[in-house]
Structure 1
């Protein structure tokens, strides 16, 4: 009988090789095969790691995994925020921005309602609710940051990822089908003509030219921002007294390294917008780091825990999405937003800017691809703030 894992927890290079290779395989399968795209690379990364750990191939804990939590996750945040210039978003896409913010509010209302309904049956739901708020306003980087910050148990993180990605696959199908429904056609404006030629679709996903200097500047900027933020948060916690509510609030937000990192990155991108806008490859590097995170969170997860917790988490996630889309449709109808704008905004909050752009391309809404990519990146910025506020709110309610 095997009591320990085949690979020891201090076998550093072998574990790094397994993590990075499996993250790469997950990305490869997601981009090459329809079935893998449907279930998502995140699920493939997570389930593969679960299989390896549950069958005693790799350990359930290791200093290597701690390195991912402590260094890889923070590094991914600025890399994915370098394209989030607030001034540019407001100038070029303010109409989409407004409905995007409505969808974000819907996410927060839905999280509150689902927490009140299921809090007694799902453990750590205040933390999970905060993570899902960040994810359903921003994306995977916010989910990773908040789960690391709140120290949510890894098996609950894995269960949440399974529920999230499974429901999201069905949600995307719903968003694709909605514009064709007679009820939607009758009640909502729509004036975007279909332009879905193969050439127009492929033009948005052409490989980018990336120079060595782009990679160097991206990593140097990201590491510098992380270093300043984490050291700055440490100094704020140490030097600012908590004598009153205002100072306590300052420390709780700016003494939080993840929120300080988000804020400083946002300021840097706004001040030096041209520099960061011209950096090619930062988003791709950040995304790959998030896939490494998805592999690592699968290692301590047990199949038994996921089987028992995931069904209720399915309901939890569905309630959030119902309020997200429901409020978007309701407010969108009142203020005469086009159905295309409403659905893309909801998609951008729940699935991130890339999936929203994919929806726009598949439906032939070519004029909205650029704007929704720009607006969707804003979610990366506000997701950590919203998730932190939601954690405090849900903890109070609980």
Structure 2
């Protein structure tokens, strides 16, 4: 019991330390709290701190995360598994429970501060570029599913996760993987491949993309420039700032936001219980997303400060937990080659198709680059790439695309996954 309590404390306190470190070091901040949590979790779960399951126990699990304790006790009494597997199962049960709690709480907090009406009004050019980006992603992910995904165990779930990665990054990936009950190793390896391949893509966007795309795409013109610089500057500067959350002024607002998140999560979970067991988690996640978007339109809710950052805290907790469940020994093997190619096609293929569509519809190079950035790497990367482009006027387009990706990526990813499941 003491081990379980300590584990819970570690899972919720380590992210606090990681966030603190991001404010101490600009280098750590650029790497990102989610990536740091992910790496920490992998180390935590693979250096012997947590007990390892026996081969017999893994065979009995048959792909499940854990088993009912009474059933496992029977196996132990019969001598089919060692007694140490009882603790392994208990820890796995705790991890599974925490994962199913933190995501329903994170989604409302991430969406409360979204001013959906304003973002839908702001940039027509960005909306068109978003449409091109989503179209490119759908074409490539669907094509990749038939090329590689059908050779991957539950490849339809990978397709859904890839939509999540390239519409909202870690938050959408976490939500969709929870909704689809994705096996932890598959989640981790998909995310790992994306981070490695995505790093090369980001370097290209920061260095050579503008010069190359300007050869055949229209250049960004003054007709695109918006007159909302100060509003957008404040928005993008605040998105990754956790300061002020635990102040006398900030805590009451976060308590209110947390209470609303609990109510929305409970309502979504309750609605999910009305459906067959196989669909309950999916219905719950989509319901929570819908209720959260509706709540964001209530001015008093929308103006609660630091709710997005509070939601990201739970995403960091999720990343730490799910990474600690991964088994590095079984991850890097030839059987995952199709998954690697699927992710690679999604990263580079969607960019190529997007650029082709931008050429076809005469979308300028800077808007194309910032849209790819916002969808592939999420809003916090938008000002970084905008700075490299020497064009901060595209920040509004990037934030619009990225924030709408947060809002609608869950629907798109889950819908596509179940559509492909039928093939």
* TM-score grouping bracket, smaller chain normalisation: 0.7 to 0.9
Call closer, same or farther: CA 1:70–1:120 in 2, change over 3 Å: closer
Matched, 1:317 2:343: yes
Q: CA RMSD in A?
A: 3.0
Question: Mean Cα displacement is larger for which, 128-137 or 47-56?
Answer: 47-56
Q: Report how far residue 331 of structure 1 moved.
A: 2.3
> Structure 1: where are the runs of 5+ without partners?
1-7, 194-199, 239-250
Matches within 5 A, 1:162-181: 162-181=192-211
Task: Give the match for residue 3 of structure 1.
Answer: none
State how 1:324-339 maps to structure 2 within 5 Å: 324-339=350-365
Aligned mate of 1:42, from 34, 40, 43: 34
Asked if 1:23 is matched to 2:15, the reply is yes
Q: 1:14 aligns with which of 6, 12, 18?
A: 6
Shift of 1:254: 11
SS at match of 2:214: helix
Q: How far is 1:34 from its partner?
A: 6.7
1:278 and 2:303 equivalent?
A: yes
Deviation at residue 148 of structure 1 after TM alignment: 1.4
* CA positional deviation for 1:80: 0.8
Flag the 1:348–1:89 CA change in 2: closer, same or farther, 3 A: same
2:257 matches 1:231: no
CA-to-aligned-CA distance 1:158-187 (integer Å, 9 cap, x gap): 111111111221111111124442553453
Aligned partner of 2:318 in structure 1 is 293
Are 1:52 and 2:44 counterparts? yes
Task: State the alpha-carbon separation in 2 of the partners of residues 182 and 349 from structure 1.
Answer: 20
Moved more, 208-217 or 72-81: 208-217
Q: Which 5+ residue runs of structure 2 have no aligned equivalent?
A: 52-87, 226-231
Match of 2:133 among 90, 96, 103: 103
Instruction: Pick one of 251, 257, 268 that aligns with 2:295.
Output: 268
Structure 1 residue 33 displacement after superposition: 5.3
Residue equivalent to 1:305:
330
Q: After superposition, give the CA deviation of every residue in 1:83-123 in whole Å (9 maximum; x if it has no partner).
A: 33332122112320221122112112111122211135432
Report the counterpart of residue 61 of structure 2 in structure 1: none
Whole-Å separation in 1 of the counterparts to 2:192 and 2:275: 37
User: Greater shift after overlay, 289-298 or 183-192?
Assistant: 183-192
Deviations 1:25-75 (A, max 9, x none): 444555655765676543432332232222321246334312321211110
Q: TM-score normalized by structure 2?
A: 0.78
The answer (yes or no) to whether the contact 1:43–1:161 under 8 Å persists in 2 is no
Match of 1:248 in 2: none
**Which residue does the alignment assign to 2:283?**
256
Matched, 1:379 2:379: no
